[in-house]
Amino acid sequence: MKYILFFFTTFCFSQQYSITGTIKNNNRSVENASVIILDANESVLGYDYSDAKGSYRILISVNENKKITISVSCLGYEKKQVILTLTDKKIVSQSFELVEQTEVLNEVVLETEQKIKVDSDTITIKTKYFTNDTEQTVEDVLKRIPGIEVEEDGTIKANGKPIEKLLVEGDDLFDQDYKLLSKNLDGKVLDAVQILKNFEDNPILKQLGDSKAVAVNLKLKKNLLNIWFGNLTLGAGVVSENRWKESLNIGLIRKKIKLLNLADYNNSGTKASSQISKSFASFDIYRQDRYEKEARSVFHSFSGENTTFSNTQSIFNDAFFNTLAFNTKIKPDFSVRSVSYFALDEQIQNSLSSTKYLVEPNPIFTSEQKNYSLQNKKIGSELELKYTANSKNYFTANLIFKNNPQRIKDNILFNEDLVAVNSRNNNYSFYNHLYHTYKIKGNKVLVNYLYFGNDQLTERNKIISPYLNDFFAVDSQALIKEEVNNTLLYTGIKSKLISKYKKTEHVIGVKLESSTEKNKTNFLVENTQNSEYSTGLDFKQNTISVDNGIKYEFTEDLKLDSQITFDFNDFKSENFSKRYVLYRAHNGLNYDSKKTGTYSLFHSFNQTLPQTSALLQKYQLISYRNFSKGIVNQELPVLKSQSITLSHHYSGSSIRYSTTSSLSYTKSGKINASETTITNNFIFNNTSFVEGGDSYRFNFKLLYFIRKIQMATKLETDQNWTSAPVKVNTSDFNTINTLFSTYIVSGTTYLEKPYNFDFTVTQNRSYTTFNDSKSSNVITKANFAINYKLNETFIVALKNDVYWLDETYSFLNAELNYTPKKSKFSYRMVLNNLWNENEFKITSLNDYTITTRSIPLIERYALLTVRYRF
């Protein structure tokens, strides 16, 4: 309480002033001029941008010295400054008349001392002005930077867009696995974070200047450049002895070589494997493409975990990983990048659930008590070579290898009988990407892309189930085996010619691809093969694709964007052969206003083939109680859908304000639906193709920095309405209608006080109507955090998470951070789950099911860590 009183008294004794005025040139208003107010020590008191009328207004707090400097700058005008001494008058008017300069400045400085700087397409943010000294990793720092968002899965967004790369001093080390960097590199090494708009990694394509991508670049402190640096962290539980945290950072950042070795070992609930991306595919008709495909998995065991709570609250996991990444310039025109990693998760998850199936003629009830254990390894390596032969030729080679062995033991008490599942899976992946970019002449560029991929998946499942054994009329303790061998092999070449004229940009591309997929499942009951449930599926696809796209500028602001793709697919399987002609189109208008943002209206039409599992003519066991089968003696139909989307995005030259909104409608033609039969013990799914339903989606997001209270805020909502055909225990398809709604409000303060706050309130709502039955569910979550700097060496942070589910749950965590002056050591005490919540219950809706699940929570513990930085 005494600290709270201190906060308020400090606030009350500072004097508040309102500085207002207009900025003009020859009696014309000057918009977007930056106005900065400094005190006598040249510390920033506040800043603003002039509006369309040239007006600005800044609220400042002054304690003792009342002498201030007001500085005004704007692109194309000479900078002006005035020095004022404040009096008792609380409202001060100060206007400016700017003088044009003949030479345009290359950069606009928004804050002196480089707090925020805009230089063309780069926004540089000094991290020390936006952090509170409790941040442990780069991700912790990025969460506090205005204009940057970090999703729950670690995905980073800048100005509302997912980033393409996370760079270190201008170079890429981790490519799509940048979470290994953001979640593990020490946040204290950062000096600044740069948002790179219009990012393009290919130097020849960059000359066309059409990229809409965004990247983030990490600038390190100058004293860490050109030397070895890092840290070692050791931690152990002091109340609960079975808690630990060890980590290691080693780095060398030079102009010609950048190297990072990151390692971590903990049992706090975080997953090492979740930091590694899956296969990555991207298609942009005006940029480089990337194709990576995966073999089809068959059998699935659900862990029973729930994503409502954070991993540190409900995931029982031991995690270890080690990664080594480097980027070196062998020559000025030749660079090598490599990243290798090993990740291991050993998870034990218990849960208890009851499910109600809303089916006719009567609902079906089941119960499930699980004891689930998982050993998940991910081993991989990537090598990338880049060579700039000359101003017209650029080469890139990328080789990727992945290995993912898994061991699963799942003991389930289903209804009243015990079921045991043991799975041994392995997944080998190899991908090769070769690019050659050639600048023909002028604004004509030829991009050639050769790719190869091989994905091999094996599954060895052993099940002892009295229900399955009764189904197959064998002894109740008989062993059932399912052996899966699926492979996918493909190779392709693609060439595209990109041409840019005065008002027109045109691309035409041709792709040739050949793929072979083999799926084989042996099903054994008491070591005897059961031919009715053993399946084999081999097929080939030879595809010729033609892309054609055009962008045309009607005016500087209004542009046409039209893209059309034809796929000529020769499909051959054991049961049929057919040539498919598939058509995809994306056409629309972009209106780009410098004042109000970008408006887009697009219509898309899409034709695709169903997943190859639709060709399975026999039932396949996909879980301990689920069977699935495809169509019988039929060729694959073409799936169709079309959509129309209206969107708007605005992001100013700074990070102070951005907004994104979209409204879309999708009409599905023929879709892949399931004819489901649910019994007391099993679920049978048969593939069917019927006319689809409709879906609507509305999204709105506002990021705004409130200068008056120095707080970055976010308002977001996402609304999804869908209607789809469903056939469950009936002879006809019925329509299921669902509405999923999400509302988010969050804020982060940057007060020049000993204290700062963070808060987030999230509410998820779901509504379902099916068979004249209506169901609804509401989940609300609130997070509030406060950190208080007692002195230069000691910081206290409190975080409270409250969940309103079937019941109310509250988690209180505390952190005590001690960093002695001029010491390489720092100390941290983590107090987790102080209220000692030990179990939670949650009800969820999913189509025609209502599930109530109980999951144990991580008990209260205290963890002491010591970090040594060198």
When pLDDT is averaged across residues 36-53 and rounded to a whole number, the result is 75
Residue 639 tokens, joined: 């799936």
Pairing state between β 861-869 and 825-832: antiparallel
Residue 348 to residue 316: CA distance in whole angstroms: 6
Amino acid in the structure at residue 108? V
CB atoms within 10 A of CB 4: 11
List, as one string, the DSSP characters of 733-755. Answer: -EEEEEEEEEEEEEEEE--SSSE
Instruction: Say if residue 114's pLDDT is above 70.
Output: no
Helix or strand holding residue 598 (H, E): strand 597-608
CB atoms within 10 A of CB 339: 25
Helix or strand holding residue 3 (H, E): helix 2-13
Q: Which residue has the higher pLDDT, 109 or 232?
A: 232
Amino acid in the structure at residue 834? L
CB atoms within 10 A of CB 471: 15
147-167: per-residue pLDDT in tens? 888 988 899 998 888 999 999
Instruction: Say if residue 822's pLDDT is above 60.
Output: yes
Residue 760 tokens, joined: 């987030």
- Res. 75 pLDDT band, cuts 50 70 90: low
Residue 529 to residue 521: CA distance in whole angstroms: 10
Query: Using alpha carbons only, how large is the chain's radius of gyration in Å?
Result: 30
pLDDT of residue 304: 86
Task: Judge contact between 795 and 789, C-beta under 8 A.
Answer: yes
Instruction: Say if residue 442's pLDDT is above 90.
Output: no
Best CA proximity match to 288, nearest among 218, 384, 185, 186: 384
Task: Judge contact between 785 and 812, C-beta under 8 A.
Answer: no
Give the number of C-alpha atoms closer than 13 A to the C-alpha of residue 408, restricted to the C-beta side. 28
Task: Judge contact between 427 and 402, C-beta under 8 A.
Answer: yes
Alpha-carbon distance values, 656 to 687, 723, 743 (Å):
50, 39, 22
Instruction: Say if residue 126's pLDDT is above 50.
Output: yes
Instruction: Say if residue 259's pLDDT is above 70.
Output: yes
Long-range contacts of the stretch 114-120 (C-beta < 8 A, 24+): 114/192, 115/44, 116/654, 116/655, 118/653, 118/654
Best CA proximity match to 185, nearest among 140, 226, 149: 140
Q: What are phi and psi of 423, to 5 degrees?
A: -130, 140
Distance of CA 251 to the CA centre of its chain: 26
With respect to residue 20, please indicate whether it lies within any of the assigned structural domains: yes
With respect to residue 268, please indicate whether it lies within any of the assigned structural domains: no
Backbone angle region of 335, left / alpha / beta, with phi > 0 → left and psi within -120 to 50 → alpha:
beta
With respect to residue 161, please indicate whether it lies within any of the assigned structural domains: no
With respect to residue 165, please indicate whether it lies within any of the assigned structural domains: no
pLDDT of residue 251: 95
Residue 231 tokens, joined: 């840290």
With respect to residue 175, please indicate whether it lies within any of the assigned structural domains: no
When pLDDT is averaged across residues 431-436 and rounded to a whole number, the result is 97
Instruction: Say if residue 192's pLDDT is above 70.
Output: yes
User: How many residues comprise the chain?
Assistant: 870
Instruction: Say if residue 240's pLDDT is above 90.
Output: no
Residue 837 to residue 310: CA distance in whole angstroms: 14
When pLDDT is averaged across residues 687-704 and rounded to a whole number, the result is 92
Q: What is the mean pLDDT of the chain?
A: 89
Backbone angle region of 42, left / alpha / beta, with phi > 0 → left and psi within -120 to 50 → alpha:
left
With respect to residue 811, please indicate whether it lies within any of the assigned structural domains: no
- Res. 113 pLDDT band, cuts 50 70 90: low
When pLDDT is averaged across residues 122-132 and rounded to a whole number, the result is 89
Instruction: Say if residue 450's pLDDT is above 80.
Output: yes
User: First-to-last CA distance in the chain?
Assistant: 39
570-592: per-residue pLDDT in tens? 999 888 899 999 999 999 999 98
Residue 672 to residue 679: CA distance in whole angstroms: 22
pLDDT of residue 76: 67
86-101: per-residue pLDDT in tens? 887 888 889 998 887 6
Helix or strand holding residue 143 (H, E): helix 138-144
pLDDT of residue 654: 64
Residue 358 to residue 218: CA distance in whole angstroms: 52
CATH number at residue 72: 2.60.40.10
Residue 589 tokens, joined: 């208008």
- The torsion of the CA quartet 613, 618, 623, 624, rounded to 10 degrees, works out to 180
Contacts of 57 (CB under 8 A, 6+ apart): 18, 19, 20, 48
Backbone angle region of 160, left / alpha / beta, with phi > 0 → left and psi within -120 to 50 → alpha:
left
Best CA proximity match to 251, nearest among 265, 235, 262: 262
3-state secondary structure of 179: helix
Q: What are phi and psi of 35, to 5 degrees?
A: -120, 125
Per cent of the chain over pLDDT 90 is: 61
Residue 753 to residue 625: CA distance in whole angstroms: 59
With respect to residue 609, please indicate whether it lies within any of the assigned structural domains: no
When pLDDT is averaged across residues 186-196 and rounded to a whole number, the result is 93
CB atoms within 10 A of CB 624: 24
Distance of CA 339 to the CA centre of its chain: 20
Count: domains in the chain: 1
Residue 787 to residue 759: CA distance in whole angstroms: 12
Residue 147 to residue 145: CA distance in whole angstroms: 6
- Res. 282 pLDDT band, cuts 50 70 90: confident
3-state secondary structure of 401: strand
CB atoms within 10 A of CB 859: 14
Lowest mean pLDDT among 538-542, 545-549, 769-773, 850-854: 769-773
3-state secondary structure of 26: coil
List, as one string, the DSSP characters of 330-361. Answer: EETTEEEEEEEEEEEEEEEEEEEEEEEE--SS
546-567: per-residue pLDDT in tens? 999 999 999 989 999 999 999 9
Residue 337 to residue 327: CA distance in whole angstroms: 4
Q: Is the peptide bond before 637 cis (omega within 30 degrees of 0)?
A: no
Sign, CA dihedral 707-795-836-409, equals: positive
* Domain that includes residue 20, residue range: 1-105
Residue 163 to residue 148: CA distance in whole angstroms: 10
3-state secondary structure of 503: coil
Residue 776 to residue 816: CA distance in whole angstroms: 41
Q: What are phi and psi of 94, to 5 degrees?
A: -145, 110
With respect to residue 88, please indicate whether it lies within any of the assigned structural domains: yes
Residue 824 tokens, joined: 């390489």
Task: Judge contact between 168 and 260, C-beta under 8 A.
Answer: yes
Task: Judge contact between 723 and 739, C-beta under 8 A.
Answer: no
Residue 659 tokens, joined: 């907004």
Task: Judge contact between 726 and 773, C-beta under 8 A.
Answer: no
381-415: per-residue pLDDT in tens? 999 999 999 888 999 999 999 999 999 999 999 99
Give the number of C-alpha atoms closer than 13 A to the C-alpha of residue 859, restricted to the C-beta side. 6
Q: Which residue has the higher pLDDT, 807 or 300?
A: 300
Task: Judge contact between 195 and 387, C-beta under 8 A.
Answer: no
Alpha-carbon distance values, 116 to 128, 145, 379 (Å):
11, 11, 40
Residue 633 tokens, joined: 């003696």
| Model confidence, pTM | 0.82
3-state secondary structure of 110: coil
Burial class (CB in 10 A: 0-12, 13-18, 19+), 509: buried
DSSP E strands, 364-465 = 364-390, 393-403, 406-414, 417-441, 444-464
Residue 221 tokens, joined: 């402190």
Residue 799 to residue 809: CA distance in whole angstroms: 14
